[in-house]
Amino acid sequence: MAQILIVDDERSMREFLEILLQREGHDVRACASVADALQALEDADFDLVISDIKMPGSSGLDLLERVKESSPDSPVILITAHGSTESAVEAMRLGAYDYLTKPCSVDEICLVVGKALEKYDLSSENKRLRRELQERSELPTMMGKSPRMKEVFDFVHRVAPTKTNLLITGESGTGKELIARAVHALSDRKERPFVAINCGAIPENLLESELFGHVKGSFTGAIANKVGLFEVADGGTLFLDEIGEMPLSLQVKVLRAIQDRTFKRVGGTNDVRVDVRILCATNRDLEADVKTGRFREDLFYRLNVIEVKLPPLRERIEDIAPLVHHFLQKYGREIDKPVRETAAEVIAALESYRFPGNVRELENLVERAVTLASGPRITLECLPPAVLRRSEPAPVDALPESGANLNDLLATYERLLLSAALERAGGVKKRAAALLGISFRSFRYRLEKLGMDDSDDRDADES
């Protein structure tokens, strides 16, 4: 339903247009003069203005100029019984969407109105998406000093300026959509729309309509033409999140749209051509899904031209502290609490936690901690029990009835902890020492004491 303003000094024409457009499902307001129309435009926003040109006092051309001054994207259709080449040229020069001559047929009016509203919807959606991208940009949350993330950032900077389709893989919460937004922001399409859709969050019977749009009457509930996201993203980037959840019946249609850059709306017969860069993301093993027949092989290879793999947070623990600082600032502002610091034991506890939900889980933890903090510092009491349990030492077996050698037990337990820290830190000893809360020198000493030292020393990382 669109908000339409009709301006005509002829009562019969006003009533005709009002009845016709209301039957089409639109909300219509009719005025008999330009003065009344200007007042209506101050009172409400309209998606379309239809105005006669020749009227007593101010003309439709005067109204057109006023509309374009206040709302440049709003389409204006001009109608007159005194059509001439000169007035048509002047109307189009001033920005009219179209120009009709009385008497107008019902089909002609409906066609022009439909196309004008479709263009307005596309323009409005593009502006909204660009504004949303600018306002909701979360690229700072992709900060990271770890070697793994530096590799990802370097890779993104290399591939972003190209037109190549990307497949972004990684566990849930690793920031796949943020990488997609970064690729778009670094490309020559950054001024065009970035459109995202979660393929697993929309019912199968609606997903096709969301992607490709539909024509009026194509199915029950299709009361008007609908523009799909492929069309909304024209000239920009379409991000298909959780692509692995897309049903097989729709995969072949998406494949054709990507290959041919054309598609048909649901219920439509005309091809729609678009220029869209496709970015996809999944936390599934698509190659395994191809082997089991759950995902089309041809679509997989079309999407997986270049793969960007995001590491889980547990494999880049040195990024936890800067991420905590970023989220601390963010939620300190949003919740309006002067929480500026994090106790050292809090960072140690977070670095010992596995984070199955990755960066998204860390963000939620920090938001919770800021909310619960009673002072300017986050303490262990602000963390959930699950995190604290993971940061506690593992329980040891009860003392055997026959007794035990304490030194042997301690050495065994120390060996287990040192091995676990090294594995968690990817073999980087300085990082492993930080996980255990000891100095690098002490860590090296303990390795040597237990005969665990080797020559594969990450000097570059330890310096």
Tokens of 373: 């903090």
- In the Cβ-directed half-sphere of 406, how many Cα atoms lie within 13 Å? 0
Which pLDDT score, from 0 to 100, does residue 460 have? 40
76-80 and 48-52 as β-strands: parallel, antiparallel, unpaired?
Answer: parallel
DSSP-assigned letters across all residues of 91-148: HHHTT-SEEEESSPPHHHHHHHHHHHHHHHHHHHHHHHHHHHHHHH--GGGG---SHH
Helices (H) and strands (E) in the chain, counts: 20, 16
pTM attached to this predicted model: 0.59
Q: How far apart are CA 219 and CA 266, in angstroms?
A: 9
Strands 213-214 and 27-31: unpaired
Return the pLDDT at 137. 47
Which residue, chain included where needed, has tokens 């690793």? Answer: 174
Q: How far apart are CA 446 and CA 451, in angstroms?
A: 8
DSSP, collapsed to helix, strand or coil, labels residue 262 as strand
Position 82 scores a pLDDT of 61
- Please give the structure tokens belonging to residue 12: 């019969």
Per-residue pLDDT, 367: 94
Domain with CATH 3.40.50.300 in the chain: 137-309
**Class of 137-309 in CATH:** alpha beta
Show the tokens assigned to 52: 């006669």
- Fold classification of 314-391 is Helicase, Ruva Protein; domain 3 (1.10.8)
CB 263 within 8 A of CB 257: yes
CATH 3.40.50.10420 fits 3-123, yes or no: no
Numbered ranges of CATH 1.10.10.60 in the chain: 406-462
Q: From CA 422, how far away is CA 429, in angstroms rounded? A: 6
- Residue range(s) occupied by CATH 1.10.8.60 in the chain: 314-391
Mean pLDDT split into 10-residue runs, the chain, 463 residues: 88 90 89 91 87 86 87 84 66 83 83 86 71 49 75 91 94 92 91 92 88 85 83 94 94 93 90 94 95 95 94 90 90 88 86 90 94 91 83 50 66 78 80 81 84 57 42
Fold designation for 406-462: Arc Repressor Mutant, subunit A (1.10.10)
Residue 75 · residue 115 · CB < 8 Å = no
Write out the residue limits of the CATH 3.40.50.2300 domain(s) in the chain: 3-123
